[in-house]
Structures are given as C-alpha cells and as structure tokens.
Amino acid sequence: MARAVLEPRADRELFTVPLEVRDEHIDANGHVNNVVYVGWLQDAGTAHWNARFDEDTRGRWSWVALRHEIDYFRPLPPGSQDVTARTWVGDPQGPRFNRYVRIEDAQGRVCAQGVSEWCLVESRTLRPVRIPAELLGPFQAGRVTSAD
C-alpha cells in the first residue's frame, strides 16, 4: 500500500537538518540501513529542540521517544550528498506530541519519512508532564529554519 508523502503544516516551523551518509551507514543491500533512519529521526528532533530552547530549559525538561514509524520511498546509496531532514511537530496531547520528519535527497525527493511520538518529562524525576504553552510557541509560526 502506497503511503502519502507527509506535508509540513503551515502553522508550524519547518526545521531543516543536514545529514551525512557515511560508509558505515551502508548495509549489505548497498543503501543506508533502516537503523540509521531511526537515528536520523531522533537527531532531527534533538537539533530542533536544542536550537529553540536555552540550556536552563533543556536542563529542566527532556523528551522520551515512545514510538517511531518509518516509510521508505527510495534508497539512499553510498556517496549520497546534500541529504536533509525536514521536521515539524503536531498538536500536543497532554505530555505527548508527534514529530514528523522527511528525509530528502539532493534533488528534494522524499527518500523516507517518519512519525515519532515523544513524551515530555521533568528531567529530575523523569515523570511525564503536560506540555506547557511556553514550549509550544517556538515550534509554531510557519517559518523555515536550519541547523546549519
């Protein structure tokens, strides 16, 4: 069953992270291994969080991944360059929200996409906490930014 390509929401910041395809990412089938994509989903979310919030905020709160779902559209072969992750967040549901990520090649073609469900926790206790409004603002507005 063909999956529809995820489209960024107009009311959310679209954050772009450059990705590097390394030799150790290539599996026996000659393309980036699926485990690497899971890491890229997490890396994109972490980069977005780190870029939007100061050290004190990041020290008070942390995110725990509850699940990842990935759709693969086309392989990334060895030597792929100018690969990017584009990420944005969904609507909060108490302490949780979905993060969406598209992995694109140098031509802007979607190679893979993923949805991760994250839960906000208080860093000291690791207990889930409803996402406060002040943590939502920086992810909104429809601007496009990059981790470069």
Domain ranges of the chain: 14-146
Residues 6+ apart with CB under 8 A from 77: 26, 30, 31
- In the structure encoding, which two tokens stand for residue 136, read together? 């939502």
99 within 8 A of 87, measured Cβ to Cβ: yes
Q: Of 3, 11, 33, 18, nearest to 113 (Cα)?
A: 3
**Is a pLDDT exceeding 80 seen at residue 21?**
yes
pLDDT single digits (tens) 30-52: 999 999 999 999 999 999 999 99
- Beta partners for residue 64, in sequence order: 119
The predicted structure's pLDDT at residue 1: 52
User: Among 2-11, 28-37, 42-51, 105-114, where is mean pLDDT lowest?
Assistant: 2-11
Residue with tokens 């990041």: 58
Q: How far apart are CA 16 and CA 44, in angstroms?
A: 8
Q: Architecture of 14-146 per CATH?
A: Roll (3.10)
Residue 20 has φ and ψ, to the nearest 5°, of: -115, 125
Residue with tokens 């980036």: 32
Q: How far apart are CA 112 and CA 31, in angstroms?
A: 12
Dihedral sign for Cα atoms in the order 82, 53, 62, 90? negative
The predicted structure's pLDDT at residue 137: 87
Q: How far apart are CA 19 and CA 85, in angstroms?
A: 7
**Is a pLDDT exceeding 80 seen at residue 83?**
yes
Q: CA distances (Å), 60 to each of 54, 63, 117, in order?
A: 10, 11, 20
* Stated pTM of the model: 0.91
